[in-house]
Amino acid sequence: MTILVVGSAAFDDIETPFGRAEHVLGGSSIYFSAAASLFAPVNLVSVVGTDMPPDAYGFLAQRGVDMRGLQVEPGATFHWSGRYDYDLNQTITLATDLNVYAGFNPVLPAEYAESDFVFLANIQPELQLAVLEQTVAPRLTMMDSMNLWIQTDRDAVERVMRRVDMVSINESEARMFAGSSSVITAARRILALGPKAVLVKKGEYGVVLFTADDYFAVPAYPLEEVFDPTGAGDSFAGGFMGYLAQAESLDAGTLRRAAVYGSAVASFTVQAFGVERLKSLTRAEVEERCREFRRLTEVGEI
């Protein structure tokens, strides 16, 4: 089973209480691919400017990520600058420069069209739709978004939601989208648009999976030191969808286990700045952390 991802590829400037990283590789499609490629083959669709050295993303090709859908355009790569204070759940965006995204026309290489799983990572919703249009009968589609697009292009975000099987969204963005302070009400409103599952990401408090007849909560792995939460959401989605792509079925138990795998991968991402920890991460390390998750949540007979 192959996974198609469209999303941003970026130069990020990140500041946390523990340090700063400037002009480092980031972007939603990059974090997602680094995580998902631990489980299944990934086809990437994104754009970088001529200022991005190919060496920066070479590790993805080494992991087997198909980069034929990565366009290189004259100009500057998408740039995001963000800051976190001691509450690492709160991302403060300082700058978003679309640069080469402003004129991006995502054209899928012919080999990508029949990808089995599709992840529409955070990017302009119109671009998510343009990619969805070019896919042929995927088994499962999932989208992510963020406050910027919910505020500036809500209709398009909703149009994407109506067309996908699953939505992954931050807690505060779910509330903003649904106009409700209750996350449960927000998830129900998104489910009512058509998706079969909604994953609400709650940062250091974990993730909740909502379907019509299931509610499942996974705690975040208890780390004493979180250096940089950037990319936690995208690498969660990569671990989640990667696990599904290599599973035998998509039943309720498999979705629950996928949420644990996603949480395990994300817990590594935040232990270093940018994609550094994901570069060296192995499947065996993820498996070991999943076993720890199991021990953490085991309650025995009640």
Sole binder of ligand AMP in the list 3, 4, 232, 259 (CB under 6 A): 232
Q: Which is nearer to ligand AMP, 46 or 141 (CB)?
A: 46
With contacts defined by CB under 6 A, name the span among 15-23, 24-32, 189-197, 218-226 that binds ligand AMP: 24-32
Q: Using CB under 6 A as the criterion, what x/- string covers residues 249-278 for binding ligand AMP?
A: ------------------------------
Number of residues that bind ligand AMP (CB under 6 A): 18
At its nearest, how many Å lie between ligand AMP and the CB of residue 151? 11
Q: Which residues are within 8 A (CB) of 6 and not within 5 positions of it... i.e. 6 or more apart?
A: 29, 45, 46, 106, 119, 120, 121, 123, 127, 128, 131
If we measure between CA atoms, which residue out of 48, 9, 12 comes closest to residue 29?
Answer: 9
Tell me, rounded to whole angstroms, the distance of Cα 251 from its chain centroid. Answer: 21
In the bound complex, which residue of the shown chain has the CB atom lying closest to ligand AMP?
Answer: 26
Question: Which range in 5-13, 15-23, 69-77, 213-221 contacts ligand AMP by CB under 6 A?
Answer: 5-13
Tell which one of 131, 208, 234, 264 touches ligand AMP (CB under 6 A): 234
Q: CB under 6 A: which stretch of 8-16, 131-139, 246-254, 279-287 binds ligand AMP?
A: 8-16
Nearer to ligand AMP, 104 or 210 (CB): 104
Q: Let me know: does 216 contact 209? Beta carbons within 8 Å.
A: yes
- Measured from the CB atom, the residue of 92 and 192 that comes closer to ligand AMP is 92
Cβ–Cβ < 8 Å for 141, 4 = no
The region of 106-114, 132-140, 228-236, 279-287 touching ligand AMP under the rule CB under 6 A is 228-236
* Chosen residue from 125, 233, 239, 242 binding ligand AMP by CB under 6 A: 233
Minimum distance, C-beta of residue 249 to ligand AMP, in the bound complex (Å): 28
Does residue 66 touch ligand AMP according to CB under 6 A?
A: no
* SS3 sequence of the chain: CCEEEECCCEEEEEEECCEEEEEEEECHHHHHHHHHCCCCCEEEEEEEECCCCHHHHHHHHHCCCEEEEEEEECCCCEEEEEECCCCCCCCEEEEEECHHHHHCCCCCCHHHCCCCEEEECCCCHHHHHHHHHCCCCCCEEEEECCHHHHHHCHHHHHHHHHHCCEEEEEHHHHHHHHCCCCHHHHHHHHHHCCCCEEEEECHHHCEEEEECCEEEEECCCCCCCCCCCCCHHHHHHHHHHHHHHCCCCCCHHHHHHHHHHHHHHHHHHCCCCCCHHHHHCCHHHHHHHHHHHHHHHCCCCC
Does residue 12 belong to the site contacting ligand AMP (CB under 6 A)?
A: yes
| Nearest CB to ligand AMP, comparing residues 97 and 165 | 97
Binding-site string for ligand AMP from residue 154 to residue 193, where x marks contact by CB under 6 A and - marks none: ----------------------------------------
- Of 3, 5, 6, 8, the residue at the interface with ligand AMP (CB under 6 A) is 8
Decide: is 27 part of the binding site for ligand AMP (CB under 6 A).
yes
Residues near ligand AMP (CB under 6 A):
8, 10, 12, 26-28, 31, 80, 96, 122-123, 146, 148, 230-234
